[in-house]
Structure formats: C-alpha cells, structure tokens
Structure 1
Amino acid sequence: MPGEGGMSPSQASALVRLDKLGPSSASELAAAEGMRPQSMAKIVTALLEAGYVVRRPDPEDGRRQVISLTEQGRTQRHGDRRARQALLARALQEQCTAQQLQTIVEAMALLEEVAQP
C-alpha cells in the first residue's frame, strides 16, 4: 500500500535511514531495516527510478556501491516529515484538552532530556 508521496512504507523508511546514517550500502540498509538484501535491492531500485537516491562507487572500496540521498530525496523526506507533524498537531488540537496538551508537552520534554547523550 503506497504511503505519502506514493512511496511504500519500506521506501520511506529507507529514506529516513539514509537521512540519518548518510551514504550506505544496500547491505547496510538491509541490516538496519532487518530485511534481506534482495528485498532492499528492490526498494533501492524504486528509489533510484524516482530520483530520490543515487548509487556511486564507494571511495574506500571500489567494488562496493554506496547509496545516498539526492536533493529531491532529501526534499521528499523532509516534506513527508512536515506533513506528518502538521497532521499530528491538527489532531492534538482537535481532540485534546488544554490539560492533555500540557501533559504531552511535558512528556516530550522529558523524552528529549532522556534521549540526550
């Protein structure tokens, strides 16, 4: 089932990984996503065809290929994030009381504090 922007959830997840990890091989992406390399190869091919990623030789090992986000892929990734944030903000405003919103804000602050190294 296609997700936002016509991408599958697996394709969107691969873009997130590349945005966070930087250039990676298909094997590294597959391991990070917990899937078989053959499955990741199909995802990478779709992302290549959409213009969201490029594949280049690894500068440290010419036998290996690394995949990285294109500017179009980065724009897609960040556009999806903004759309999800707007959807969540709207839902919170429509469905939560002021007290509930305050609790959520406090919980988010605590999560950020805990997540800091």
Structure 2
Amino acid sequence: MPTEARTLGGLCADRPRRFPSHRAGTRANMSPQAMGEFVDELEELGYVVRRPDPTDRRAKLITLTSKGQACIAAGIATIDGIEQQLTARLGERGHAQLRSLLAKLLEDG
C-alpha cells in the first residue's frame, strides 16, 4: 500500500491540508477512477472528508480529518524511529550513503 500511504501523506503536505482530488491522483500516478475509489475508501474509514470547492463548482476538496492527521503523525513517528535506528547502527555517514543508494535505485525505476 505504498501508493496509498504516499497519497494520504500528500494530503498533509499542502496547506490548508486540502486540494482537488484530480491533483492528488496526478501526484500518486493514479487514474482518476482509481483515485476516486481510493478516496471513497479513505472517506469510509474516516481519514478524509470531501467538500465542495468554493472556487470551482465541478471540483471537490479532500480534507484530512483528525483521524487522518493522527495517522500521518503516527507514520512520521515510525519513520523517525527507523531513521534513528539506522543512524545508531550505521553512523551519520553510513546512513547518508544508504539514503543516497536507495534514492538511486528509485530513480532507476
């Protein structure tokens, strides 16, 4: 579920924590249909709500709920803990090298 987690995290990246769903789909490299289904699921689970966009009657804005914000905070705390463990085991330089190598792998597809 990496794409879904990244998409939910993307909702947190923009202020005021909302943006049109088609923009979220573009960021996640998802089709509009897949994005709509995913947002439906997030809404059913209570992580987001959809509201009309006051500037565009055709669009909906997706807003994180407090449950969605708590999910993001828990994810960030988990990642921070992993980062600290990596630094403790590899040292600052080794951790930086690992990040660089992983980024290269992601770039290469």
Q: 1:91, CA displacement in angstroms? A: 3.1
- 1:81 pairs with one of 71, 76, 93: 76
- Contact 2:49-2:63 within 8 A present in 1 as well: yes
Specify the alignment match of 1:19 in structure 2.
12
Which structure is larger by alpha-carbon Rg, 1 or 2?
A: 1
Q: 1:28, CA displacement in angstroms? A: 0.9
What are structure 2's unaligned runs of at least 5 residues?
98-109
- Contact 1:11-1:47 within 8 A present in 2 as well: no
- 1:42 pairs with one of 37, 54, 57: 37
What's the secondary structure of 2:62's corresponding residue?
strand
What's the RMSD between the two structures over aligned residues?
2.1
- Contact 2:7-2:27 within 8 A present in 1 as well: no
- Contact 2:9-2:72 within 8 A present in 1 as well: yes
Specify the alignment match of 1:68 in structure 2.
63
Any runs of at least 4 consecutive aligned residues in structure 1 with deviations exceeding 2 A, and if so which? 103-107
What's the secondary structure of 1:41's corresponding residue?
helix
Identify if the C-alpha distance between structure 1 residues 88 and 65 changes in structure 2 by more than 3 Å, giving closer, same or farther: same
**Percent identity (aligned):** 27
Q: 1:106, CA displacement in angstroms? A: 8.4
What are structure 1's unaligned runs of at least 5 residues?
1-7, 108-117
- Contact 2:87-2:95 within 8 A present in 1 as well: no
Taking the aligned partners of 2:18 and 2:6, their CA distance within structure 1 comes to 14
Q: Is residue 9 of structure 1 aligned with residue 8 of structure 2?
A: no
Which structure: greater strand fraction? 2
Q: What per-residue deviation string (whole Å, max 9, x for no partner) do you get for residues 18-42 of structure 1?
A: 1112311221111122221111112
- What TM-score, normalized to structure 2? 0.75
- 1:52 pairs with one of 47, 56, 60: 47
Task: State the aligned residue count.
Answer: 95
